[in-house]
Structure 1
Amino acid sequence: MKNILYIVFLCFFHTAIFAQQDTLTTEKTILKNKELLDRATDPLAPSRAAFYSAIVPGLGQIYNRSYWKLPLVYGGMGTSMYFYFHNQKQYQLLRDDYKRRLKLGSAYDRANERFGQLDDDRIIRAQRQFQKSRDLCLVITLGIYILNIVDANVDAHLQQFNVDDDLSFEPSFQFNEVNQSYQFGMTMRYKF
């Protein structure tokens, strides 16, 4: 008799624990869905996402829960900034070498200098090339930064867009066996 009571007690206790966990999971799911619904109907969400991305690049994507875009934002900006600093360093080295040539004149030792094998015209052209590349990298960085802001704004707008099955558009392609050709058509469906 005691064994049966223990078994009934353990079954009841086991059921109560899992029922409580299931209730907590359901409540968490409801709260999460309510949070997503509130954000999807929030008219300020796009401007908030754009503001966050303007403050810290990628923060708007985190706000929109588009985490896969973060490596694109930071990879693009990091790569262009790397090449910006590389081109700036090369430009400074060439400029310093050219200034040294002008200052020393005929006492300039071409054999011991880094760019000694280049004549003055080539040094000037190389400076201009590195300067153009540096400026282009800065423009690319700014473009990626602006694109990051626009993407966060558009992504937040699109989260408010209704994509239910009640509204659908389906292209259809059918093969006509009589004249051996394809027929193209469209189906638009709206359910109330």
Structure 2
Amino acid sequence: MLNKQSFLLLFCLLLTVSGFSQVQKDSTVNTTVDELNIDKALLSKREIDPLRPSKAAFYSAILPGLGQAYNKKYWKIPIVLGGITGGILVYDFNNKQYNRYRDAFKRRLAGFTDDEFFGTGATPFISDDALIRAQRQFRRNRDIAMLITVGIYVLNIIDANVDAHLLQFNVDENLAMRPHFQYNPMENSSDLGVTVNFKF
């Protein structure tokens, strides 16, 4: 009796499984592109050059702004060149002022009173302590200008490299994340959410 019930249960189970099974297509049969239902936008190929970021960084290292031109971000070139040129001009101005005050201070240490900051009277127009303070100030400004100029140069290289990476980033419509608003008639309420779409 137990064997008949087990046999009947096994038969019903096999019948149910075979009734819900799907017909599988033979994987060895060649499928043509016409048989596949593929969105034509997915078939368009976009060239990805793995050396593009390193080329952009190399070009920017050789000539600031050249990596931005390689990435076709022409609006960044005046910013890069203006920043580096401005830093060099500030450095040059402070270096010249530092040399003026240093030369005057050296002449005073040598015993001369004919420097441009001494004036016409017996007492100097600018004292020795003021010359020392001016030298310190212009030297500090010169060094800061040099650091800022080097920083802008390095940022120029980093910007070209990162921009070249981002130009190859996949941002087409097949990968999308959008907010959605949906009315739910069953609950008589509205739903807000975010939809993430992946189209293969």
TM over 0.5: yes
**Separation in 1, partners of 2:192, 2:145:** 46
- Cα separation, partners in 2 of 1:77 and 1:87, compared to 1, 3 Å: same
Over 3 Å counting, the alpha-carbon distance change for 1:173 and 1:131 in structure 2 is farther
**Cα distance in 1 between the residues matched to 2:193 and 2:91:** 51
Counterpart-to-counterpart distance in 1, 2:59 and 2:49: 16
Q: Which residue identity is paired with 1:104?
A: G
Structure (1 or 2) with the larger CA radius of gyration: 2
Q: Equivalent residue for 2:150?
A: 142
* Residue 161 of structure 1, CA deviation: 0.4
Aligned with 1:163: secondary structure? coil
Aligned partners of 1:59, 1:65: CA distance in 2, in Å?
10
Relative to structure 1, is the Cα distance of residues 86 and 99 closer, same or farther in structure 2, using a 3 angstrom cutoff?
Answer: same
RMSD: 2.6
- How far has the Cα of 1:186 moved from its partner? 2.7
TM-score between the two structures when normalised by the length of structure 2: 0.66
**Structure 2: how far apart are the matches of 1:47 and 1:170?**
33
Residues 78-133 of structure 1, C-alpha deviation per residue, up to 9 Å, x if partnerless?
A: 1111100000000000001101111125x5573249xx422111111110110010
| Other-structure match for 1:72 | 79
Gaps of 5+ in 2: 1-43, 183-190
Instruction: Give, in whole Å, the separation in 2 of the partners of 1:169 and 1:51.
Output: 35
Give the unaligned 5+ runs of structure 1: 1-33, 175-182
SS in 2 for 1:117: coil
1:46 aligns with 2:53: yes
* Alpha-carbon distance in 2 for matches of 1:171, 1:139: 45
Among candidates 128, 132, 145, match of residue 140 of structure 2: 132
Give the TM-score of the pair, scaled to structure 1.
Answer: 0.68
The alignment-based identity, stated in percent, is 54
> How far does the alpha carbon of each residue in 1:109-165 deviate from its partner, in whole angstroms, 9 at most, with x for none?
73249xx42211111111011001000000011001100101111011111100101
Listed one character per residue, the Cα deviations across residues 29-84 of structure 1 (whole Å, up to 9, x for unaligned) are xxxxx9x943xx01111111111111111111111111010011001001111100
1:96 equivalent in structure 2: 103
Following the alignment from structure 1 to structure 2, what is the Cα–Cα distance between the partners of residues 121 and 44?
57
Match of 1:58 in 2: 65
1:155 aligns with 2:167: no
The structure that is helix-richer by fraction is 1
Instruction: Report what 2:125 is aligned to.
Output: 117
**Secondary structure at 1:104's aligned position in 2?**
coil
Q: 1:60 to 1:111 in 2, by over 3 A?
A: same
